Amino acid sequence: MNLFSQELTVVNVGLASFGENVARAGGAVTTLDWRPPAGGDPARGLELARLVGHPEVDQANAVAFERYQAAQPRLVDVQIARDAIPAMAEQRLILHAGPPIAWADMCGPVQGGIVGAILYEGWAQTPEEAETLAAGGDIAFAPCHHHDAVGPMAGIISPSMPLWVVENAAGTNRAYSNFNEGLGKVLRFGANSSEVLDRLRWMGTELFQTVRAGVRQLDGLELKPLIAQALHMGDEVHNRNAAATGLLFKRLLPSLLSVDVPGEALRRSAEFIAGNDHFFLNLSMAASKAMLDAAADVRHSSMVTAMARNGVNFGIRLSGTGDRWFQAPANPVDGLFFPGYTIEDAAADLGDSAITETAGLGGFAMAASPAIVQFVGGTPADATENSRRMRAITLGTNPVFSLPALNFGGTAAGIDARAVVDSGVLPIINSGIAHKEAGVGQIGAGITAAPPECFTQAIGALAADLGVSA
């Protein structure tokens, strides 16, 4: 009977209105935002229960996470795509962002980028001819990820484009990414005008030759320390790369001055790099892929090694399930729109740049970059909370990528698909927003999350591989 004479203190699980009634009656109440794991699917919930604490999964995750942490991404060269990617020397191949998708199903920006790439390669003379060629089956399309590459937004890579070559010095894997074009009318947002093509041709000749000379003179540039320093200077190396680009420029310029590069070519290249705060983005993506590919193919591991979007679907890969993609419709991006645009104008989430979040950067490192909220929305406190919340779904932290706002604790890293399905906490991604029509360009930036269905599918596949399916 003493219970009924004590002050009422309630923990409310479920509908918030239950707790509100207790509070109105004068009781103290704490409401928990709890939902059944796996979206309430009994079969997936049972599989999750069998996978949580599974010794083979835990052991595999320890191996995969250690390989990720041990990876040392190093910029070693700049090459033309056909020289770096063997398949491009054998066929007319264009790479795109995200999981596999057919031409007819592609969103506007990806189709527009492919049309621009066809014109850039000289395979067609007009956009109409390029579209006919793309639809006719004479050109092969594949995800960048299928060829050790990544590309932002539409992610278009064609045979004549220059690529960063990033090598894992602690292993044997390499990763590639294209050069960043800057903002405005650019191929990665589906633009393919003569202005865009002229810039690409200059990037594929003069800029390529200049930057390659400088990179080769450097004889290797360690990217992990550079990224770590940029995090302490206010970047999160996804949507804010101002510090990282400056640090790269600081290393590259003395090297360029010591090689035989024509003065005007050097001036134009230096002005282009200095005027493009996003220039380092593609390098941060290649570095992230090099680290995550080092963790790939560890049988039974539930660690996520890729998250990518093609403007239609969002896909993830697990270390323990090989090259399989687990896909769901891509979410819209909730954020700040440029004047005159709304979410009705926006394409769905797009690009391979979520590889940065997969590696513990980008949205996972927002605590390092309070200024990013001016671009993607929210407050500095929101940015810090995002970084804290991601620790609930990862295998650990990366002490190399430390966050001053979190007492120099490491970024959350090593997304565990089990933890995502169990907790309902979804990986956060900050991203640019592309117009749904080709060529309009970027219309905003904001925050989105990976769809939960990708992770429940992955858990089902992992359970089947281990023989513990419901």
CB distance 232 to 369 below 8 Å = no
Which two tokens mark 93?
């191949």
E strand spans, 144-198: 149-150, 162-168, 174-178
In angstroms, rounded to a whole number, what is the distance separating the alpha carbons of residues 176 and 145? 9
Element (H, E) at 207: none
User: Distance of CA 256 to CAs 205, 223, 224, 259, Å?
Assistant: 16, 18, 22, 6
pTM for the structure as a whole: 0.93
CB distance 92 to 123 below 8 Å = yes
Q: Which of 247, 259, 254 is nearest to 210 (CA)?
A: 259
* 3-state SS assignment for residue 470: coil
* 3-state SS assignment for residue 44: helix
In angstroms, rounded to a whole number, what is the distance separating the alpha carbons of residues 451 and 40? 15
Backbone φ/ψ region at 410: left (φ over 0), alpha (ψ -120 to 50), beta: beta
In angstroms, rounded to a whole number, what is the distance separating the alpha carbons of residues 73 and 176? 11
List the beta bridge partners of residue 149. Answer: 176
Contacts of 214 (CB under 8 A, 6+ apart): 252, 253, 255, 256, 259, 261
CB distance 429 to 362 below 8 Å = yes
Contacts of 156 (CB under 8 A, 6+ apart): 94, 95, 96, 97, 110, 113, 114, 116, 117, 178, 187, 188
* 3-state SS assignment for residue 123: coil
* 3-state SS assignment for residue 217: helix
Angle at 401 between CA 323 and CA 299, to 5 degrees: 25
Which two tokens mark 204?
């594929």
Q: What is the DSSP letter of 346?
A: B
How many residues would you count in the chain?
A: 470
In angstroms, rounded to a whole number, what is the distance separating the alpha carbons of residues 421 and 117? 39
CB distance 165 to 174 below 8 Å = yes
Q: What is the pLDDT of residue 4?
A: 66
Q: What is the pLDDT of residue 268?
A: 97
Contacts of 254 (CB under 8 A, 6+ apart): none
Which two tokens mark 45?
């919930």
Q: What domains, with CATH codes, occur in the chain?
A: 2-34 (no CATH), 42-68+295-466 (3.90.1700.10), 73-286 (3.90.1710.10)
Q: Tens place of pLDDT for every residue, the chain, 470 residues? A: 676 677 778 888 777 777 788 788 777 888 877 777 877 788 888 999 999 999 999 999 999 999 999 999 999 999 999 999 999 998 999 999 999 999 999 999 999 999 999 999 999 999 999 999 999 989 999 999 999 999 999 999 999 999 999 999 998 999 999 999 998 889 999 999 999 999 999 999 999 999 999 999 998 999 999 999 999 999 999 999 999 999 999 999 999 999 989 999 999 999 999 999 999 999 999 999 999 999 999 999 999 999 999 999 999 999 999 999 999 999 988 888 999 999 899 999 999 999 999 999 999 999 999 988 887 888 899 899 999 999 999 999 999 999 999 999 999 999 999 999 999 999 999 988 989 988 888 888 899 999 999 999 999 999 999 999 87
Which two tokens mark 116?
């621009």
